[in-house]
Chains A and B, each alone.
Chain A
């Protein structure tokens, strides 16, 4: 039996607009998504903002009713057996929200343990164990309001493990964390993976998905556009190389020239403070560099490197440069 099965899931949001001339506006967040997650697998869900990742997770965690399609978690239908599903899962939505800031870390866990139906004698032992697991040992008596963002995220993990669920949904759990905090958090996820937990992870960070996931589904505009292992996804761009060019205020005309080159498969731009990194995907490898430099003539250019494609490059190609 698969831990999670999703069949043609669809979710439409309806919003009322206008005051006098009222009308209903429909937004399709998830159009048609199907996938399965095996027991003990870490399954990554990747996609740009608004692709439908969080909506999918919310439907699977019983917090939203699907508009169409069906899904089972631990063999139980997420709509008909919502309460059964809730006993078997844990979930985290990224960010600092979802905790009681006026209570201490320990009290937050005691509260949620009670709501998960954990016996007080069990939670008394489990809370210190979990606080240690997530690196918050000795901080349990402090108010959550005084915790750093990373500490709050880690408390979320402890919260979600209180009833020792077999299936975890982690929706962008490292969003907003500093690099050290994010690395520590990934270690916690790896630890959970070693305990054979089934994990559905959504993230924006490609290296994170690459390092952690057994399989990845890339979703865009509410549909799955690719699903494979990280190495399988990279094969989508095995014919490509990436020319990375550091520029300082490259003009739109120069970028248009670059895009127009016949050997440029796609161009994406990463803004890093005052500079931009142009990521040119090309089939010509290092031979493309002179033409790229010609297209950027008159622009302030820094470092130029040619490298092998990563999962991010596969993602960019599949999503069509929308990231």
Chain B
């Protein structure tokens, strides 16, 4: 891939993201998934943690924002492939010269940007409804972490999308994939509370490193070397995810063309 291609693909990613945002903001479910669901989770968590004081509020805000990020990637990105199939646009997209993974990257970017609203809605809820005074302990590191986390989530989402292309019925398993990631990646409570055997699984998932660094830079003074280590892990896993995703896309798209699953006919 040469640089002019990279520039062209980046332009395509931005156009796909823009069109996805325009399309999705007219869907009620998306508004629910990115704004109301994280607010509900935030309310539940804040009631559960209210005896622990205001220090936990930022933890909940960041945690519920992460749940919105993951739900949005899983449901909106996954469902969008099935919606494209039902509306007949999946074939048009696959039949384009642009690699399909570039299109999905654009869609994931739109979903991640959207889901930042989850964090904003949880923040507003905690500040206004519960009256917590919310401040980030390491704002610069937090925002850099947020940027890297978005990239990590997008890449992680790319490894899941090919399964949706191949298997029409995988949608039924989305719920089963939603909560385990909340738990095992420490979105709403530390993974130290989980059985020890689950820890290696957490370490293998980029959302865990995103959660660790985001919580660490927003609610505590996370040492710089630990923040840098989390960033490195997210970048390494993102690159690994990109390699895995490109292979999975190749395999699954070929298989979808063999099995004729690009359309509903």
Contacts and interface: CB of A to CB of B under 8 A. Distances in A.
Nearest to B5: A117
Interface stretch (B35-43, B62-70, B92-100, B114-122): B92-100
Contact of A103 (B19, B96, B259): B19
Contact of A97 (B11, B88, B97): B88
A97 B265 CA distance: 12
Given A63-B257, A115-B12, A98 B97 contact: no
Contacts of B58: none
A110 B97 CA distance: 15
B257 A64 contact: yes
Contacts of A13: 260
A67 to B, nearest CB: 9
A65 B260 CA distance: 8
A110 B11 CA distance: 12
A93 B15 CA distance: 24
A14 B261 CA distance: 11
Nearest to B92: A98
B22 A107 contact: yes
A98 B19 contact: no
Contact of A111 (B8, B16, B99, B257): B16
B26 A115 contact: no
Contact of A63 (B15, B19, B91, B98): B91
Interface range for B: 20 to 34
Contact of A86 (B15, B87, B97, B262): B97
A114 B106 CA distance: 12
Contacts of B12: 114-115, 117
Interface in B52-108: 87-89, 91-99, 103
A64 B93 contact: no
Contacts of A159: 92
B23 interface: yes
A100 B19 contact: yes
Contacts of B8: 117
B258 interface: yes
Contact of A87 (B92, B97, B254): B97
B23 A100 contact: yes
Interface in A21-70: 58, 61-65
A299 interface: no
Nearest to A104: B22
Interface residues of A, number: 31
Given A64-B257, A86-B95, A115 B103 contact: yes
> Which of A83, A103, A110, A112 neighbours the largest number of chain B CB atoms within 10 Å of its CB?
A112
A297 to B, nearest CB: 45
Contact of A102 (B11, B15, B23, B260): B23
B26 A65 contact: no
A65 B254 CA distance: 8
A159 B89 CA distance: 12
Interface in B17-58: 19, 22-23, 26
A148 to B, nearest CB: 18
B97 A116 contact: yes
Nearest to A62: B95
> Which of B87, B94, B257, B262 neighbours the largest number of chain A CB atoms within 10 Å of its CB?
B257
A99 interface: yes
B88 A98 contact: yes
Contacts of A86: 95-97
> Which of A14, A117, A159 neighbours the largest number of chain B CB atoms within 10 Å of its CB?
A117
Interface string A81-98: 001001100010101011
A93 B88 contact: yes
A98 B257 contact: no
Interface string B127-158: 00000000000000000000000000000000
A98 B98 CA distance: 17
Interface of B: 8, 11-12, 15-16, 19, 22-23, 26, 87-89, 91-99, 103, 254, 257-260, 262
18 contacts: A14-B259, A58-B91, A63-B94, A63-B262, A64-B257, A65-B258, A86-B95, A86-B96, A91-B95, A97-B89, A98-B88, A100-B87, A100-B89, A114-B15, A114-B16, A115-B96, A115-B98, A117-B12
Interface of A: 13-14, 58, 61-65, 83, 86-87, 91, 93, 95, 97-103, 107, 110-112, 114-117, 120, 159
